[in-house]
């Protein structure tokens, strides 16, 4: 009985934490979605708010099944929870396997994703913040080169482009010097696409983000692998706990049925 309670409440509290996290993700995503001035971007791959809502909603629903099923000893809900977790686990394994075998295809798709992010940079505030964060974090600019910003309507380096940002790059590409000034110069990247790489390198990061991300992944392979293994172990643990509780519930039900049958025979 002690082991049964330990399994039951461990599964409940584990699901409860992820349930709360899923609810917070949905709330933040909805707030970000409605706080935008426009909804020009509606794709899961390029709208962080929509992606946050989708992932949070999936986590919220799945962990609710685990929470309620564990607390109420509902074998049916636990079986649904277990089935969804197993499917997610198999999909993650398949994606990792396919990504390893077709790494060139993954890089190609990532390159297209970055390009779409550049093209729609000014269309979505959340996407703009994500791109700026990546460029600051990895000290990069554009996909393969800082000149990739010509794919954007505002930064396009063409004589017919009336934008003040023509032939420029976002401020997140700029090399920020440590000074006492608190005012951020958002025009530091203006006209840098007209400069050669050596001269541009004095003002902005000229390396492409795709190359920098790949390099970061290689340098932090143990960290990335450890995170992946940790998530995998956590999911396996949840699957094992759910399976164990289902087994105990079924055993208890079977014992009760046998006891009732024995009592009827004696009567």
Compute the mean pLDDT over every residue in the chain, rounded to the nearest whole number: 85
Mean pLDDT of 82-108: 86
Percentage of the chain lying above the pLDDT 70 cut: 89
Q: Where are the domains of the chain?
A: 1-115+221-251
pLDDT band at 85 (very low <50, low <70, confident <90, very high): very high
Q: 3-state SS string over the chain?
A: CHHHHHHHHHHHHHHHHHHHHHHHHHHHHHHHHHHCCCCCCCCCCCCHHHHHHHHHHHHHHHHHHHHHHHHHCCHHHHHHHHHHHHHHHHHHHHHHHHHHHCHHHHHHHHHHHHHHHHHCCCCCHHHHHHHHHHHHHHCCCCCCEHHHHHHCCCCCCCCCCCCCCCCCCCHHHECCCCCCCCCCCCCCCCCHHHCCHHHHCCCECCECHHHHHHHHHHHCHHHHHHHHHHHHHHHHHHHHHHHHHHHHHHHHHHHHHHHHHHHHHHC
- Give residue 50's pLDDT: 82
Over range 245-265, report the average pLDDT: 76
**pLDDT tens string 126-173:** 788 889 999 999 999 999 999 999 999 999 998 899 998 999 999 999
Confidence of residue 265 (pLDDT cuts 50, 70, 90): low
Does residue 72 register a pLDDT over 60?
Answer: yes
pLDDT at residue 83 is higher than 90 = yes
């Amino acid at each position: 009985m002690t082991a049964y309670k330990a399994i039951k409440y461990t599964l409940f509290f584990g699901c409860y934490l992820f349930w709360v996290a899923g609810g917070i993700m949905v709330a933040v995503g909805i707030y970000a979605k409605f706080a935008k001035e426009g909804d020009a971007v509606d794709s899961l791959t390029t709208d962080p708010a929509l992606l946050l809502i989708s992932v949070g909603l999936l986590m919220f629903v799945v962990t609710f099944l685990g929470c309620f099923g564990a607390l109420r000893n509902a074998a049916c809900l636990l079986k649904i929870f277990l089935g969804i977790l197993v499917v997610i686990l198999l999909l993650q394994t398949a994606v990792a396997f396919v990504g390893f075998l077709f790494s060139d295809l993954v890089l190609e798709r990532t390159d297209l994703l970055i390009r779409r992010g550049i093209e729609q940079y000014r269309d979505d505030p959340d996407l703009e913040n994500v791109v700026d964060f990546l460029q600051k974090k990895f000290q990069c600019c554009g996909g393969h080169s800082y000149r990739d910003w010509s794919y954007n309507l505002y930064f396009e380096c063409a004589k017919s482009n009336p934008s003040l940002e023509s032939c420029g790059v976002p401020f997140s590409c700029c090399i920020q010097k440590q000074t006492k000034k608190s005012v951020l110069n958002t025009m530091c990247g203006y006209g840098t696409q007209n400069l050669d790489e050596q001269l541009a390198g004095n003002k902005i990061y000229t390396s492409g983000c795709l190359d920098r991300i790949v390099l970061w992944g290689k340098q932090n392979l143990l960290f990335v692998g450890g995170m992946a293994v940790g998530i995998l172990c956590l999911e396996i643990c949840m699957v094992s706990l759910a399976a164990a509780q289902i087994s105990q519930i079924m055993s208890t039900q079977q014992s009760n049925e046998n006891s009732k049958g024995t009592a009827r025979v004696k009567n």
